[in-house]
Amino acid sequence: MKIQNDARYAKSDEWVRVEGGVAVVGVSDYAQGKLGDVVFVGDISVGSTLKAGDLLTSVESVKAASDVYTPVSGKVLEVNHEVTAKPELLNSDAFGAGWLAKIELSNPDELNGLMSATDYAEYRKE
Partner 1 sequence: MQSTGRNRFSFIPATGDEQQAMLQKIGLQFDDIVKCFAGNSCVEGGLDLPDGLTEDQMVDYWDTMMSQNSGPRKASLLGAGAYMHFIPAVVPHLASLPGFVTAYTPYQPEISQGTLQSLFEFQSFMVELTDMELANCSMYDGASSTAEAMLMAHRVKKADRVLVAATVNPDYLATVRTYLEPHGIAVDVVKMNGDGRVSMEDLESKLSVTACSAVLVQSPNYLGIIEDLGAIGTIVHRHDALFVESFTEAMALGLLKYGVGTGADVVVGDGQSLGLSMSFGGPHLGVFATLKKYNRDFPGRIVGESIDTKGRQAFVMTLRAREQDIRREKATSNICSNHALNALTAAVYLGSVGESGFRALACENVAKLQKLVSGLEATGHFTRVFKQSPVFNEAVLASSIPPEDMRSRLAGVPVFPPLALARGIAPEVQGMPHTYLICATEMLKDSILKQVLGALS
Partner 2 sequence: MTLFEKSVAGRSAFSFGFEEDRAVAERYIPEFARAAVKSLPQVAELDLVRHFTNLATMNYSVDTGFYPLGSCTMKYNPKINERMAADPRLTARHPLDDAAGNQGILQMEFELKESLQEITGMDDFTLQPACGAHGELTGMLIIHAYMRDHDAKRTKVLIPDSAHGTNPASASMAGFQVVTVPSNERGGVDMDALDKLMDDTVAAIMLTNPNTVGLFEENITRIAELVHARGGLLYYDGANLNALMGLIRPGDLGFDVVHLNLHKTFATPHGGGGPGAAPVGVKKFLADYLPIPVVVCRGGQYALDENRPHTIGRMSGFYGNTAVLARAYVYIKMMGRDGLLATSRAAVINANYVKALLSPYFPPAYDRPVMHETVLSAKGYDKYGVTLLDIAKRLMDYGYHPPTIYFPHFPPYAEEVMMVEPTESESKETMDSFCDALIKISQEAKENPDLLLSAPHDTVVTRVNETYAARHLITSHRDKKGT
Give Cα 97 to chain centroid, integer Å: 12
Chain residues that interact with partner 2, rule: CB under 8 A: 37, 39-40, 60-63, 87-88
As measured in angstroms, the least distance from the Cβ of 12 to partner 2 is 17
As measured in angstroms, the least distance from the Cβ of 65 to partner 1 is 4
12 binds partner 1 (CB under 8 A): no
Nearer to partner 2, 39 or 117 (CB): 39
Q: Which of 21, 4, 85 is nearest to 13 (CA)?
A: 4
55 binds partner 1 (CB under 8 A): no
- Mapping DSSP to helix (H, G, I), strand (E, B) and coil, where does residue 110 land? helix
CA gap 30, 123 in Å, rounded: 11
